[in-house]
C-alpha cells in the first residue's frame, strides 16, 4: 500500500470514529425544536448539523446559543432547499452527482462506525495492551533535583553550600536559573530525556549523592539523585482510550483492505507518482531538564 493509500485510510477511519461517537451518545428519541411549512426540525437534526459544521461555527457562541445558531441555520437551509427544489435545481446532473457522493459518504461512515464499535471489544483491547506490555524492555528512570547556574564558580559555590548542610531545595530556589523546577525538583525521567552530559552524570549517582558541577549547553548543574526505579508500563486503565482508538482504526483499515482485495478495481489513468519522502529531520539534543 502506498503512502497516499495510508493517508486516505486514516482520513476515512478518523471521520467514522467521530460519527460513531455522536451516534452512540445521541438522544434516545428526537425532540422537535421547530418546523418549516410543516416539516419538523429535531434535536437530532441539530446534532448532525453540529457534526458537519464543527470548527466553522463562531467560537464565541457556546452552549444553548450554539444550538440556537445551528437551528437558525437549519431553518434557512430548509427554506432555501425548498425554493431550489421548486426551481427544479435538484434535476441537474451536478446536484445528482453530489447527492450520490454524500450518500456514499454517509453509508461508509455508518458501516465503519459499526465496525469500530464491534471491533473495540474488551478482549481485543486487552490483547493489544498485553502484546505491547510484553514488548516493553526494562528501562531505568531516576528522580533527581538540580541547581542550574551560568558559571562554574557559581556552581561550585552552590555545591559548597549544600555540602555544608544547607537544604538543597532552598539553595535551588535562591540561585537556580531553571524556573520550571521548584526547589530544583525534576521529577522522574529516563536518561534519553536529558541532554547527554546531564544524563550521564545523573545516572552515575547513587541515591542521595550530589554531583560535582556538570557543564551542558544550558549552563552548569549541581545534581542530587533522589531515587531510582525501573520504569513502570502504564496500566491498562491509563491507556484504555488510546488502545480503543487503535483497535477501532485497525478494524476499519482491515475491512477496507479486505474490500479492496476482493474488488476488481481498474484505473483508466495511471495514478500520480507518490511524492518522495522528506529527508529525515536533523537529530536534536535530548530535552533539557525542566
Regarding whether 226 and 202 lie in a shared domain, the answer is yes
Regarding whether 120 and 19 lie in a shared domain, the answer is yes
According to the model, what pLDDT value does residue 55 have?
A: 82
Confidence of residue 281 (pLDDT cuts 50, 70, 90): very low
Confidence of residue 279 (pLDDT cuts 50, 70, 90): low
Regarding whether 201 and 91 lie in a shared domain, the answer is no
**What is the CATH classification number for the domain harbouring 187?**
3.10.50.40
Structural domain of 124: 3-128
Regarding whether 66 and 94 lie in a shared domain, the answer is yes
Residue 22 clears pLDDT 60, i.e. is over it: no
Regarding whether 105 and 222 lie in a shared domain, the answer is no
Residue 17 clears pLDDT 70, i.e. is over it: no
* Mean pLDDT calculated for residue range 235-245: 93
Q: Does residue 266 belong to any structural domain of this protein?
A: no
Domain total of the chain:
2
Poorest-pLDDT segment among 67-71, 211-215, 231-235, 278-282? 278-282
Regarding whether 74 and 8 lie in a shared domain, the answer is yes
Query: Has this prediction a pTM greater than 0.85?
Result: no
Regarding whether 121 and 9 lie in a shared domain, the answer is yes
Q: Does residue 175 belong to any structural domain of this protein?
A: yes
Q: Using the 3D structure, point to which of 177, 197, 230 is the last residue of a domain.
A: 230
Q: Does residue 71 belong to any structural domain of this protein?
A: yes
* Mean pLDDT calculated for residue range 154-174: 96
Regarding whether 104 and 30 lie in a shared domain, the answer is yes
Q: Using the 3D structure, point to which of 230, 248, 269 is the last residue of a domain.
A: 230
Can you spell out the DSSP letters for the chain? --HHHHHHHHHHHHHHHHHHHHHHHS-SS--EEEEETTEEEEHHHHHHHHHHHGGGS-TT--HHHHHHHHHHHHHHHHHHHHHHHHTTGGGSHHHHHHHHHHHHHHHHHHHHHHHHHHH--HHHHHHHHHHHHHHPPP-EEEEEEEEEESSHHHHHHHHHHHHTT--HHHHHHHH---TTSGGGEEEEEEGGGS-HHHHHHHHHPPTT-BPPPEEETTEEEEEEEEEEEEPPPPPHHHHHHHHHHHHHHHHHHHHHHHHHHHS----SSPPPPPPPPPPPPPP-PPPPP-
Regarding whether 144 and 66 lie in a shared domain, the answer is no
Q: Does residue 198 belong to any structural domain of this protein?
A: yes
Q: Does residue 254 belong to any structural domain of this protein?
A: no
* Mean pLDDT calculated for residue range 131-150: 92
Q: Does residue 276 belong to any structural domain of this protein?
A: no
Residue closest to 1 by CA, chosen among 266, 261, 262 = 261
Regarding whether 101 and 20 lie in a shared domain, the answer is yes
Q: Does residue 205 belong to any structural domain of this protein?
A: yes
Q: Does residue 95 belong to any structural domain of this protein?
A: yes
pLDDT in tens, 79-134: 999 999 999 988 888 998 999 999 999 999 999 999 999 999 999 999 999 999 88
Q: Which segment, 10-14, 47-51, 151-155, is predicted with the most confidence on average?
A: 151-155
Regarding whether 152 and 121 lie in a shared domain, the answer is no
Q: Using the 3D structure, point to which of 230, 251, 273 is the last residue of a domain.
A: 230
Regarding whether 52 and 146 lie in a shared domain, the answer is no
pLDDT in tens, 168-227: 999 999 999 998 889 999 999 999 999 999 999 999 999 999 999 999 999 999 999 999
Percent of the chain surpassing pLDDT 90 = 66
Amino acid at each position: 500500500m502506498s503512502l497516499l493509500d495510508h493517508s486516505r485510510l486514516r482520513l476515512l477511519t478518523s471521520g467514522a470514529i467521530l460519527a460513531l461517537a455522536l451516534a452512540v451518545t445521541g438522544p434516545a428519541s428526537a425532540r422537535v425544536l421547530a418546523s418549516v411549512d410543516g416539516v419538523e426540525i429535531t434535536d437530532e437534526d441539530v446534532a448532525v448539523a453540529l457534526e458537519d459544521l464543527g470548527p466553522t461555527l463562531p467560537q464565541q457562541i457556546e452552549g444553548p446559543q450554539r444550538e440556537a445558531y445551528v437551528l437558525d441555520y437549519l431553518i434557512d437551509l430548509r427554506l432555501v432547499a425548498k425554493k431550489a427544489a421548486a426551481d427544479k435545481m435538484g434535476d441537474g446532473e451536478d446536484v445528482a452527482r453530489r447527492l450520490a457522493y454524500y450518500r456514499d459518504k454517509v453509508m461508509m461512515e455508518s458501516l465503519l462506525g459499526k465496525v469500530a464499535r464491534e471491533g473495540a471489544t474488551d478482549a481485543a483491547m486487552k490483547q493489544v495492551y498485553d502484546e505491547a506490555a510484553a514488548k516493553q524492555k526494562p528501562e531505568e528512570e531516576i528522580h533527581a533535583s538540580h541547581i542550574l547556574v551560568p558559571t562554574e564558580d557559581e556552581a561550585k559555590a552552590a555545591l559548597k553550600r549544600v555540602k555544608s548542610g544547607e537544604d538543597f531545595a532552598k539553595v535551588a530556589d535562591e540561585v537556580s536559573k531553571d524556573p520550571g523546577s521548584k526547589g530544583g525538583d525534576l521529577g522522574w525521567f529516563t536518561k534519553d530525556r536529558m541532554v547527554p552530559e546531564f544524563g550521564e552524570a545523573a545516572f552515575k549517582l547513587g541515591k542521595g549523592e550530589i554531583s560535582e558541577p556538570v557543564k551542558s549547553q544550558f549552563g552548569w548543574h549541581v545534581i542530587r539523585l533522589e531515587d531510582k526505579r525501573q520504569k513502570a508500563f502504564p496500566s491498562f486503565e491509563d491507556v484504555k482510550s488510546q488502545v480503543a482508538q487503535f483497535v477501532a482504526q485497525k478494524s476499519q483499515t482491515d475491512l477496507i483492505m479486505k474490500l479492496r482485495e476482493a474488488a476488481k478495481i481498474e484505473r483508466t489513468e495511471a495514478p500520480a507518482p507518490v511524492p518522495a519522502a522528506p529527508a529525515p529531520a536533523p537529530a536534536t539534543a535530548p530535552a533539557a531538564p525542566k
